[in-house]
C-alpha cells in the first residue's frame, strides 16, 4: 500500500512541482506588440528576451499562407524559430522521426490533418504556391501530416521554418515576428518575469506586452499550496509505513526470541540469524514493491479518464521510480534497527522464556 500511495501521489504531485509546473500546466508567456497585438515587431526583441535572466527558452513566429487547389481553402504556415521549437513541435504530436525529417528539410512543412485532407496534401509532395500575404512564390515540401489537434485551428495550419520563410518574403517584412512564446526556468515566478519583460521594452518601438494568461496565473498561484499538501500527505504516509513495519518486525522478533535462543545454542549465532531476518525482510519488501508498482500503474490507468481534463496524460515521474529502491532499502534499514538491538542482547538461556 505504501508503494502504491508513493507512486500515485508522486504522479499527482509532479505537475505542481516548481521545476515541472511550467510544462505540465502549459505555463508560458506570450509576448505581443503592446500597441496593436496583431502587428509584428522586430526579431531582435525576441533574441534579447532569450538572453534575460530566468528565461529557459523562446520561440518566435511569422506567418505565410497559400491557397489550396480548390481555390477556397488557405493553408496557414506558422513559421517558427528559436530554441523552444523542438518542444513545440513534439507537443503538437510529431514523433521523433517526423521531427528529424522536418528539421533536416529547410523548406519542409508539417501539415495539420484536417487541412491536408481538404487540400489533398500528402508527405513528399513538393509545391511552389504564392504566399497570400506577400505574393511571392514559396517552394515547400510536405514532410509529414500531424495527428489531430485539440484545437481545430491547429488542424488547419502547417508548421514551417522561420529562417526559410524569413529569407523568401519581401525585405520590408523580414526580421519581424508576430508572436514570441517564453518559458521560464522557474514557473513560480512567471508573472514576475512577464513584468520584467514589459519593463525592459517599455521604451522600445514598439513597446511589448507580456501575458501569462489567467488560467496559468491561477494555476501557478495555487501550485505551491497543492505541492505542500501533497508532500505533507506523502511524508505522513511514509512515517506511518515506517512505524508499522518497525512495530510488526519488532513484535515478530520478540515472539521468536525463545526460538532464536534455541538456535543460538546449536550454533546459529546472532549474525547468522540477523542475516536470515534481513533476507526474509528483503524478499517481503521486493515482492511488496513489485506488486505495488503493478497496482499503481493499473490504478493510474483507471483514474486517467477522470484526471486527464486537469493534468493531461499522466505518467509516473522518473524521480519517483528512481527514489523508490532507495526508499525501500532505507525503510528496511530502519526497520531492522530494533530487531538488531534485540538480537544483540540474545542469550542461550532465553530459550527457557515463554
Which pLDDT tens digits describe the chain residue by residue (354 residues)?
777 777 777 777 666 554 444 444 446 899 999 999 889 999 999 999 999 999 999 999 999 999 988 888 889 999 999 999 998 898 888 999 999 999 999 999 999 998 999 899 999 999 999 999 899 999 999 999 998 876 556 688 999 999 999 999 999 999 999 989 999 887 667 888 999 999 999 999 899 999 886 444 444 444 455 566 667 777 787 788 778 877 877 777 777 767 777 776 777 776 777 787 788 878 888 888 888 888 888 888 887 766 654 555 567 777 778 888 888 888 778 777 777 776 676 665 555 454
Within-domain flag for 217: no
Nearest by Cα to 332 from 295, 279, 290: 279
Q: Of the candidates 157, 183, 211, which is a domain's last residue?
A: 211
**Integer Cα distance of 289 and 283 in angstroms:** 10
**What are the cell numbers at 85?**
521549437
Nearest by Cα to 48 from 201, 186, 211: 201
**Integer Cα distance of 267 and 288 in angstroms:** 32
**Integer Cα distance of 57 and 196 in angstroms:** 15
**What are the cell numbers at 217?**
496565473
Task: Say how many Å lie between the first and final Cα of the chain, rounded.
Answer: 34
Q: Are 303 and 253 in contact (CB under 8 A)?
A: no
Within-domain flag for 248: yes
Task: Please tell me whether residues 111 and 131 are part of one structural domain.
Answer: yes
Q: Which residue has the cell 513560480?
A: 188
Which regions of the chain does DSSP assign to beta strands (E)? Answer: 29-33, 41-42, 55-67, 74-81, 108-111, 126-127, 140-145, 157-161, 176-177, 179-184, 208-211
Task: Please tell me whether residues 43 and 169 are part of one structural domain.
Answer: yes
DSSP state of 71: S
Task: Please tell me whether residues 126 and 171 are part of one structural domain.
Answer: yes
Rg, Å, the chain Cα set: 30
Quote the number of domains for the chain. Answer: 2
Amino acid at each position: 500500500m505504501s508503494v502504491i500511495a508513493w507512486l500515485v501521489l508522486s504522479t499527482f504531485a509532479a505537475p505542481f512541482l516548481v521545476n515541472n509546473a511550467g510544462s505540465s500546466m502549459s505555463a508560458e508567456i506570450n509576448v505581443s506588440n503592446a500597441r496593436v497585438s496583431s502587428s509584428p515587431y522586430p526579431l531582435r526583441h525576441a533574441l534579447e528576451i532569450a538572453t534575460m535572466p530566468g528565461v529557459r527558452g523562446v520561440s518566435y513566429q511569422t506567418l505565410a499562407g497559400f491557397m489550396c487547389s480548390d481555390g477556397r481553402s488557405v493553408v496557414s504556415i506558422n513559421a517558427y524559430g528559436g530554441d523552444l521549437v523542438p518542444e513545440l513541435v513534439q507537443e503538437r504530436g510529431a514523433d521523433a522521426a517526423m521531427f528529424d525529417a522536418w528539421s533536416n528539410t529547410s523548406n519542409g512543412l508539417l501539415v495539420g490533418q484536417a487541412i491536408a485532407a481538404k487540400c489533398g496534401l500528402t508527405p513528399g509532395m513538393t509545391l511552389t504556391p504564392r504566399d497570400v500575404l506577400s505574393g511571392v512564390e514559396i517552394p515547400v515540401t510536405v514532410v509529414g501530416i500531424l495527428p489531430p489537434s485539440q484545437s481545430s485551428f491547429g488542424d488547419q495550419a502547417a508548421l514551417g521554418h522561420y529562417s526559410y520563410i524569413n529569407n523568401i518574403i519581401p525585405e520590408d517584412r523580414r526580421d519581424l515576428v508576430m508572436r514570441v512564446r517564453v518559458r521560464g526556468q522557474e514557473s513560480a515566478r512567471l508573472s514576475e518575469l512577464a513584468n520584467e519583460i514589459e519593463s525592459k521594452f517599455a521604451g522600445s518601438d514598439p513597446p511589448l506586452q507580456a501575458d501569462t494568461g489567467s488560467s496559468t496565473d491561477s494555476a501557478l498561484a495555487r501550485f505551491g499550496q497543492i505541492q505542500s499538501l501533497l508532500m505533507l500527505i506523502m511524508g505522513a504516509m511514509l512515517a506511518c509505513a515506517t512505524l508499522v513495519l518497525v512495530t510488526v518486525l519488532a513484535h515478530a522478533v520478540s515472539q521468536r526470541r525463545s526460538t532464536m535462543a534455541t538456535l543460538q545454542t546449536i550454533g546459529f549465532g546472532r549474525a547468522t540469524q540477523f542475516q536470515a531476518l534481513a533476507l526474509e525482510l528483503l524478499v517481503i519488501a521486493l515482492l511488496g514493491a513489485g506488486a505495488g508498482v503493478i497496482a499503481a500503474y493499473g490504478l493510474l490507468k483507471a483514474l486517467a479518464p477522470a484526471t486527464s481534463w486537469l493534468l493531461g496524460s499522466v505518467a509516473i515521474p522518473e524521480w519517483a521510480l528512481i527514489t523508490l529502491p532507495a526508499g525501500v532499502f532505507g525503510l528496511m534499514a530502519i526497520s531492522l534497527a530494533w530487531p538488531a538491538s534485540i538480537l544483540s542482547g540474545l542469550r542461550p538461556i532465553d530459550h527457557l522464556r515463554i
